[in-house]
Amino acid sequence: MSELRLRIGGMHCVNCAGKIEKEIAALHGVEAASVNFASETLQVDYTAAAISPEMIAARISSLGYTSSSLESESPAGEEARRDLRWLIFSAVLTTPVALLMFVGGHEGVGLWISALLATIVQFTAGLTFYSGAWNALRNRSTNMDVLVALGISAAWGYSILAMTGLLGANAHNFFETGAMLVTFIRAGKWLEARARGRASRALRELLSLQPDKARLLRDGVESEVPTRTLQIGDLILVKAGERIAVDGVIESGEGAIDEAMLTGEAAPVAKGPGESVSGATINRSGLLTIRATAVGAGTVLSRIVRMVEDAQADKAPIQRLVDKVSSIFVPVVIVLALLTLGGWLFVGAEFVFALQLSIAVVVIACPCALGLATPTAIMVGSSIGLGSGILFKRASALENVARIDTVLFDKTGTLTSGSFGVTDLLPVSGIDADELLRIAATIEAGSTHPLATAVVAHAAGRNFPPLALTDVSEVGGHGLIAQSDGVPLVAGNRRLCEREGIDLAPLATEEMRLAGEGKAIVFIARNQQLLGLVALADTVKPEAIESILRLHALGLKTALITGDRRDAAQAVAATLGISEVEAEVLPGDKLTVVRRWQAQGKKVAMVGDGINDAPALAAADIGIAIGSGTDVAKETGDIVLVRGDLLDVERAIRLGRATLSKIRQNLFWAFVYNIVGIPIAAGLLYPHFGLILKPEFAGLAMAFSSVSVVSNSLLLNRIKKKLRG
């Protein structure tokens, strides 16, 4: 299978997107096709042996639309400028027509001027609606253009007939209606294109961060080259204030790296030789020489952009219902318009009156507002997440994370640092704690076991150099035996000490207490006499407790899943305030645990960072991968927390809830607009209130309904500051 992503131009409403999606999906060799009307993109999964990208592009062209690569400028930007030009043109010609209407210019020279100007507007600025309607009808579908073309044609056609006297001497014309309709809808489309452009601005700004040039070091000679020509293994020189062009490892130099574009963190991170840096981040100070490890599409920035593009091209579950409604919307509106015309004629209304109302019904209906309600909110929500170091890989993730009621956490590397630290030093009577630590570090220096390295690191941090050792031997799974100046030393667990005849009774009570807290215990002995013990534990991440508290404040249930022994797991859970513990779970059984929670009717999010978490991340309703974890976890998760900050779990859920709330608001107002607007346009209020909605103002209302939906989605940006808290 291959994947193709294209920008699509010429779509005027969600029905256009639906038609393209349906026709491309029907092509032989195409596995799936998805069109996002808001971002104006098409994603196609296809078999390269059966169909080519050129064939897909040709089919799009035959439908009356344009296609281009994603690197090209967004059609929203092009359309906004084009719509503005047409808006100015049509407004200049429509203004005299409207003024003549108000001063009674319905006959003589005034009538001819109105007819001429209205006709020019109709078949220049209004030509796009005829073109779109023709493309839709010849492909056996309907869209917003069909409604607009029907409305302006009816108004203009009737006025021409009235002007020529074919409808009788007293027939009225309303040339201003068609001209004002075109102008108002053009105004709405311009504002809509601008708003959609703002919704996708974050992604375009991210793409622009990659520098065009880089300083290449080859054989000691520095030269400036285009970034696109760099290869893995190249040496890059980066001066203070410059953007880093590639992902790489620092070979020499130290600098403060501004990674805000990746993580959202404002404070630069100090880095030196051997440490990794990412492309598009900024070297705020120092001179760096960097060895490229990833270039072009392989960089972190490119992968992030791709993730966000995939999320914005994806469809949220709620959108599928909207697509079904939109597909039958236009035919239903046309039927309602015909019923309006027939109904008013049946009750004895004049034909012009009935026609105006039926035109108003046609033009006030707006499938675009329905079509934009979900994708624009998704675009804004995913962009906010992007700026906060939270990557939503699918649109469905933004919607589904809002429905989560249970969060399952992996322990090691997720809630804890994944590395042991010394928590307690308990010497027996007569032994100094510093002496105990020095002896412990001396023995443990002979091993690479995680517990041993933790003890040595703790001693080094307190400037305790190890003593000289001879005859060090490691007893697998038990500890170490060594000699110093002919004196035997032991560092190990209870079994090793008992084997060596060491009495552990002086610290038996403390041993039980610490073991009950889930800590690992290393006994230290010299010449078969117990000196004390060292207790170690996998340290809880500093932000873990607050993260759990915030999740509980949102009304969520939390649980801990780990392969560790139960006492260690329960100790960590008690520290964090987690009541549910799934301990001693084998790597392959984490998936089973997730499904058991789901079987209880829970909407489950799984948070993890390791390879053994990948199946559970995939099975959960939402998989949340810690960004500092393995690539497998990041590939499997629906959400990636780039900073590795546990507080971002709660932030992701809050952002998801805010986005879903905005989608519901948009859909509510879009449906209410049509439910209320269409009956008003049909004259429902006229018999009682004497109120009718002229077609041109119905068109204005239709245009601004789409703008209001997009603008409401943009209000999501208000949550940015709250997410930082």
CA pair distance 316, 426, nearest whole angstrom: 57
* Run of H or E residues at 307: helix 300-313
- Asked if 476 contacts 572 with a C-beta cutoff of 8 angstroms, the reply is no
Nearest to 287 by CA among 242, 334, 240: 240
Sheet of strand 255-258, all strands in order from the earlier edge strand to the far edge: 269-271, 255-258, 282-285
Name the one residue in this structure whose structure tokens are 């969060």. 407
* Buried-state track 510-527, b at ≥16 Cβ within 10 A, e below 16: ebeebbebbbbbbbbbbe
CA pair distance 382, 390, nearest whole angstrom: 8
Nearest to 350 by CA among 171, 153, 173: 171
CA distances from 443 to 245, 460, 612 (A): 47, 13, 33
Residue 202 identity: A
Nearest to 610 by CA among 580, 635, 584: 635
Q: Which residues contact 42 (CB under 8 A, 6 or more apart)?
A: 4, 5, 6, 7, 8, 20, 21, 24, 33, 34, 35, 36, 60, 67, 313
Plot region of 527 (φ>0 → left; ψ -120 to 50 → alpha; else → beta): left
CA distances from 280 to 132, 267, 446, 630 (A): 41, 16, 43, 22
CA pair distance 245, 23, nearest whole angstrom: 41
Nearest to 539 by CA among 452, 454, 439: 454
* Given 323, 410, 538, 564, the catalytic residue: 410
* Catalytic (active site) residue 410: yes
- Strand, helix or coil at 467? coil
Residue 572 backbone dihedrals phi, psi, to 5 degrees: -65, -45
Alpha helices, DSSP H only, in 641-682?
A: 647-681
CA pair distance 452, 534, nearest whole angstrom: 11
- Per the structure block, which two tokens stand in for 93? 């010609």
- Asked if 545 contacts 530 with a C-beta cutoff of 8 angstroms, the reply is no
- Asked if 32 contacts 25 with a C-beta cutoff of 8 angstroms, the reply is yes
Polymer length in residues for the chain: 725
- Per the structure block, which two tokens stand in for 427? 């010497």
Tell me the torsion sign for CA atoms 566, 556, 654, 553: negative
- Per the structure block, which two tokens stand in for 30? 């195409």
Residue 159 identity: S
CA pair distance 75, 313, nearest whole angstrom: 15
State the catalytic residues: 410
